[in-house]
């Protein structure tokens, strides 16, 4: 995607508000008792890259990759040197950019899978833009703002005006998109296994972006209470799909949702992992802050046996 995460809420969200990190174990092979020592390749979108978290690292600059994103933190904890660590994550990436170059507003990121080789021993992947969650959240914010404005003059648009736009006649458009992404993810996991047959692979789900219950997030997110619950439900459905696809492919799934519960974008500033529409800490809108990147790194490190429970 060419739009910068700093240009607008839509751009920030489109950079991967619901992608999922994948740390890959070769199907049919047990994980080694000791954590892998590299080479480590990080593939992914903006939740991997950590846009707006200082300092910017790597090329192209348009990927807005932080030197404090969770792959960098994992690599440091594993004691990897520069030759054994490649972070090719990029804001705006989709599953298609694994095999095709991705233009950005400041340079082109090569096809991410080109960083893999038979020497690769650890891979992380985070990708969720394929389901169009960016436009969904943007629309829900707009609907919420309009709903609050209408209620202030005596009109009521319902508890979940945005949900009503996506659910009709028993069909949930967002669920349909999640289901459609499964086959593309299967192909991506198969290609990772082909290019890096000795790599350890885990799928890491997204951290909690919103509370799980109807909550007034008007101050931080501008969402109607029912739409908060709806969006969280869609995220959990995405995470469930990612877990299922990982297990079917014979790779591991890492849960970051559970440790981040209560640390979503509507939580107190000093505990949240994800920033709200208007960030209060260095991070892109509705993206992980440095605390969130550290939290995801801890979950990955625990999964690869480099950190105690």
Q: Say whether the peptide bond before residue 275 is cis (omega within 30 degrees of 0).
A: no
> For helices 225-249 and 133-152, what crossing angle results, to 10°?
170
| DSSP-assigned beta bridge partners for residue 33 | none
**How far out from the chain centre does Cα 237 lie?**
14
* 287 is annotated as an active-site residue: yes
* 29 is annotated as an active-site residue: no
Report the C-alpha gap between 130 and 16 in whole angstroms: 9
> For helices 70-77 and 290-303, what crossing angle results, to 10°?
50
Report the C-alpha gap between 109 and 93 in whole angstroms: 9
Set 4, 135, 287, 309: catalytic member: 287
- Sign (positive/negative) of CA torsion 33, 37, 38, 40? positive
Set 46, 143, 147, 285: catalytic member: 46
Beta-carbon count within 10 A of 213 CB: 9
In a 3-state reduction of DSSP, which class is residue 150?
A: helix
| Helix segments in 67-172, DSSP class H | 70-77, 133-152, 161-166
The pairing of strands 167-168 and 171-172 is antiparallel
Point out the residues that are catalytic: 46, 287
């Amino acid at each position: 995607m060419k739009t910068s995460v700093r240009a607008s809420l839509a751009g920030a969200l489109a950079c991967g508000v619901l992608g999922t990190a994948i740390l890959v174990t070769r199907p049919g092979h047990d994980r080694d008792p000791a954590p892998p020592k590299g080479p480590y390749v990080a593939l992914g979108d903006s939740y991997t890259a950590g846009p707006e978290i200082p300092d910017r690292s790597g090329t192209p600059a348009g990927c807005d990759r932080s030197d404090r994103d969770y792959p960098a933190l994992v690599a440091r904890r594993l004691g990897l040197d520069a030759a054994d660590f490649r972070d090719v994550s990029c804001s705006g990436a989709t599953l298609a950019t694994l095999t095709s170059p991705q233009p950005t507003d400041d340079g082109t990121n090569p096809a991410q899978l080109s960083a893999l080789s038979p020497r690769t021993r650890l891979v992380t992947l985070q990708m969720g833009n394929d389901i169009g969650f960016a436009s969904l959240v943007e629309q829900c914010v707009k609907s919420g703002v309009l709903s609050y404005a209408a209620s202030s003059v005596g009109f009521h648009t319902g508890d979940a005006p945005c949900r009503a736009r996506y659910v009709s006649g028993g069909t949930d458009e967002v669920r349909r998109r999640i289901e459609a992404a499964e086959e593309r993810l299967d192909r991506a996991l198969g290609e990772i296994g082909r290019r890096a047959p000795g790599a350890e692979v885990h799928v890491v789900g997204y951290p909690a972006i919103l509370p799980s219950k109807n909550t007034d997030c008007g101050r931080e997110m501008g969402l109607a209470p029912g739409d908060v619950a709806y969006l969280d439900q869609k995220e959990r459905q995405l995470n469930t799909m990612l877990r299922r696809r990982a297990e079917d492919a014979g790779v591991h799934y890492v849960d970051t949702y559970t440790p981040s519960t209560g640390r979503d974008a509507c939580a107190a500033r000093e505990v949240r992992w994800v920033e709200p529409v208007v960030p209060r800490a260095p991070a892109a809108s509705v993206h992980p802050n440095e605390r969130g990147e550290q939290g995801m790194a801890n979950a990955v490190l625990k999964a690869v046996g480099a950190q105690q429970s």
